[in-house]
């Protein structure tokens, strides 16, 4: 009987071939070792450091450590500035490419946008943010004010709503409650019931579309299906398409709001593509972006609203773009912790009772193991951790609905009727109810109660921006110049000391002879008496004194 023929060839290797390969490998490594032996391998010498017998050892080590820290801080600042410049250049190049690929009838509008956006990026100031925001308001037929569902009232800007009401031109203003999966359902339903009496409100959860992969520009595909599906997108598109039918023309929809509310994420969810950059940084969008959803709807992404300095400390901490105002993290965390429920924070991080925010950060650092040598807690790292939880998707907190459900001061019954005219509010309410049911929200017991600070005042017009505020780049340059000057002074002092020691010069005369000082048993610089410096010892004294006799 014949042996059946195998479908695939065997992957086994003969012993002769395997031994031959091993022999070749051994010969190769032997040749490499021979060549390395001929070249001569020099071992790196370790720094012996300051010997224990040297005087003033602690002072020398302290100075060296301070100089090392200054150099590290300077390198970090230079690295950050380099990343900022690269990001600005990349955005300008993307704008030029986008303007060249647009349709012929829209080249004038997009070209104007690209030139102004590059100018805004170069400035990177509050005035450029206000200028771009005014452009979005003027060019839009419908404006979506995006609110964070964790604090909807605090993310509303009365000045912005007043400007939209005054412009006229049959502009519509809708409220979009984003990040609805971070608040309890009971609290969310109360806020929707409260806000829909003033303006049309849409429940939304921005996310990338499920079971698909989006392609980043110049990178591989990125799978974002684990983040879940977008909720509320269909109801929002239905609302916009209904308004488009009443106007009998294509509409432009501007997306506005304070930083870190998810304006760019909403556009990405509606477009089902990664067209606007998003991230945890506050104020990432710096200029107007044009995104075509379909032939009738065009979305305009805008930079964030600038919070007025007249607001409370917690409002400025949560609603100020980090790329414009570099607020200390410790101050921001302090203002946030003071407005949180103490018992719920203790349960959230499993820490004992605390008196103030400083003690809270100390206990949090001890809980997370953020400790220095000697048992000192790293308070700044604990503050960064808490801040990342607070502004990110990890922290679930909510604000209570105000008891009085009266209209805001800048809204009237006539304005409310005009905003609701021509819209199918019953269908919108049904869609909101379905979205709330589909959202997987946290429980009320696991969320933190946050004290709302009320409406947040914003700066809309460019003339209202204080002139002395946007001066960060100059201050950074001054700090770098100071560090460079200090390094140069230190190097000059070291050179002077070397020259004086080489020439054998004296800084000042020593009143007490060296032999008498040693015989009396006094140490250098001890007991508050006169200390003898290294520079005061002459060449003659070096010959007569041996350091090894006393410093053993």
**Three-point CA angle 323, 326, 329, nearest 5°:** 120
314-390 is classed CATH 1.10.1580: yes
Q: Which has more confidence, 276 or 216?
A: 276
**pLDDT grade, residue 308 (50/70/90)?**
confident
Per-residue pLDDT, 325 = 63
**pLDDT grade, residue 226 (50/70/90)?**
very low
Give the tens place of pLDDT for each residue, 433-489: 888 988 888 888 888 888 887 888 888 877 777 764 444 444 444 455 554 444 444
Give the tens place of pLDDT for each residue, 169-178: 678 889 999 9
Average the pLDDT over each of 200-214, 317-331, 443-457, 508-522 and give the range with the smallest value.
Answer: 508-522
Mean pLDDT of 407-415: 76
Separation CA 107–CA 115 (nearest Å): 12
Per-residue pLDDT, 361 = 92
Per-residue pLDDT, 514 = 38
Helices then strands, counting H and E runs in the chain, come out as: 18, 12
Superfamily of domain covering 83-307+418-465: P-loop containing nucleotide triphosphate hydrolases (3.40.50.300)
Mean pLDDT of 534-538: 39
Minimal CA–CA distance to 137: which of 461, 520, 465? 461
Give the tens place of pLDDT for each residue, 179-224: 888 899 899 999 998 888 888 899 998 875 433 444 444 444 444 4
- The domain limits of the chain are 83-307+418-465, 314-390, 471-498, 504-547
Task: Evaluate if residue 1 carries a pLDDT over 60.
Answer: no
Q: What letters, b where the CB count within 10 A reaches 16 and e where it falls short, cover 465-487?
A: beeeebeeeeeeeeeeeeeeeee
Give the tens place of pLDDT for each residue, 2-15: 666 666 777 889 99
Using an 8 Å Cβ cutoff, are 135 and 114 in contact? no
- Helix (H) / strand (E) element for 50: namely none
Per-residue pLDDT, 117 = 41
Provide the residue count of the chain.
Answer: 552
Average the pLDDT over each of 285-289, 420-424, 426-430, 482-486 and give the range with the smallest value.
Answer: 482-486
Average the pLDDT over each of 82-96, 360-374, 468-482 and give the range with the smallest value.
Answer: 468-482
Per-residue pLDDT, 104 = 42
Q: What letters, b where the CB count within 10 A reaches 16 and e where it falls short, cover 492-513?
A: eeeeeeeeeeeeeeeeeebeee
**pLDDT grade, residue 272 (50/70/90)?**
confident
| φ/ψ bin of 179: left (φ > 0), alpha (ψ from -120 to 50), beta (otherwise) | left
**pLDDT grade, residue 405 (50/70/90)?**
low
Mean pLDDT of 327-356: 88
Q: Which has more confidence, 251 or 472?
A: 251
Give the tens place of pLDDT for each residue, 108-160: 333 444 444 444 333 457 788 888 888 888 888 899 999 989 889 888 888 88
- Helix (H) / strand (E) element for 35: namely helix 15-39
Q: Average pLDDT over the chain, rounded to whole?
A: 75
Per-residue pLDDT, 520 = 44
- Helix (H) / strand (E) element for 121: namely helix 107-123
Crossing angle for the helix pair 158-167 and 126-139, nearest 10 degrees?
40
**pLDDT grade, residue 324 (50/70/90)?**
low
Q: Which has more confidence, 429 or 528?
A: 429
Per-residue pLDDT, 274 = 83
Q: Which has more confidence, 25 or 126?
A: 25
Q: Cα dihedral sign for 208, 213, 216, 222?
A: positive
Minimal CA–CA distance to 224: which of 237, 214, 232? 214
């Amino acid at each position: 009987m014949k042996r059946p023929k195998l479908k695939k060839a065997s992957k086994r290797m003969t012993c002769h071939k395997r031994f031959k390969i091993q022999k070749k490998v051994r010969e190769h490594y032997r040749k490499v070792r021979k060549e390395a032996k001929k070249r001569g391998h020099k071992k790196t010498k370790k720094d012996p450091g300051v010997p224990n017998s040297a005087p003033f050892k602690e002072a020398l080590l302290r100075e060296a450590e301070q100089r090392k820290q200054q150099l590290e801080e300077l390198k970090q600042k230079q690295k950050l500035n380099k990343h900022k410049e690269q990001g600005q250049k990349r955005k300008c190049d993307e704008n030029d490419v986008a303007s060249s690929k647009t349709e012929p009838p829209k080249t004038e509008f997009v070209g104007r946008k690209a030139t102004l956006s590059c100018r805004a990026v170069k400035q990177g100031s509050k005035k450029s943010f206000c200028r771009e925001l005014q452009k979005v308001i003027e060019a839009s037929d419908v404006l979506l004010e995006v609110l964070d569902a964790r604090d909807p009232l605090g993310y509303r800007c009365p000045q912005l709503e007043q400007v939209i009401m005054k412009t006229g031109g049959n502009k519509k203003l809708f409220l979009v409650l984003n990040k609805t999966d971070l608040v309890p359902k009971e609290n969310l339903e109360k806020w929707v019931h409260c806000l829909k009496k003033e303006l049309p409100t849409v429940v939304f959860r921005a996310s990338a579309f499920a079971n698909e992969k989006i392609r980043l520009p110049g990178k591989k595909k990125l799978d974002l299906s684990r983040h879940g599906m977008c909720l509320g997108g269909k109801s929002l598109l239905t609302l916009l398409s209904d308004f488009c039918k009443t106007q009998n023309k294509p509409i432009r929809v501007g997306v506005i709001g304070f930083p870190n509310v998810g304006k760019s994420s909403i556009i990405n969810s509606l477009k089902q593509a990664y067209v606007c950059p998003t991230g945890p940084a506050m104020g990432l969008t710096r200029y107007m972006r044009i995104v075509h959803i379909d032939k009738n709807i065009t979305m305009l992404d805008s930079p964030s609203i600038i919070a007025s300095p007249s607001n409370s400390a917690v409002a400025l901490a949560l609603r100020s773009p980090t790329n414009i105002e570099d607020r200390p993290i410790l101050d921001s965390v302090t203002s946030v912790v003071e407005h949180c429920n103490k018992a719920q924070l203790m349960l959230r991080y499993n820490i004992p009772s605390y008196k103030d925010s400083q003690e809270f950060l100390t206990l949090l650092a001890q809980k997370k193991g953020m400790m220095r040598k000697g048992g000192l807690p790293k308070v700044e790292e604990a503050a960064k951790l808490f801040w990342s939880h607070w502004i990110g998707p990890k922290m679930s907190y909510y604000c209570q609905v105000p008891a009085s459900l009266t209209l805001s001061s800048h809204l009237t019954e006539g304005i409310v009727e005009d905003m609701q005219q021509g819209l199918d509010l019953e269908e919108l309410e049904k869609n909101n109810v379905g979205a709330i049911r589909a959202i997987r929200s946290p429980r009320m017991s696991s969320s933190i109660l946050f004290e709302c600070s009320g409406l947040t005042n914003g700066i809309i017009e460019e003339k209202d921006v204080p002139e002395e505020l946007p001066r960060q780049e100059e201050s950074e340059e001054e700090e770098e110049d100071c560090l460079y000057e200090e390094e140069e002074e230190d190097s000059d002092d070291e050179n002077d000391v070397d020259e004086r020691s080489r020439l054998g010069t004296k800084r000042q005369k020593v009143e007490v002879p060296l032999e008498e000082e040693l015989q009396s048993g006094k140490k250098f610089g001890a007991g508050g008496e006169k200390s003898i410096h290294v520079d005061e010892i002459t060449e003659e004294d070096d010959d007569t004194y041996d350091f090894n006799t006393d410093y053993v």
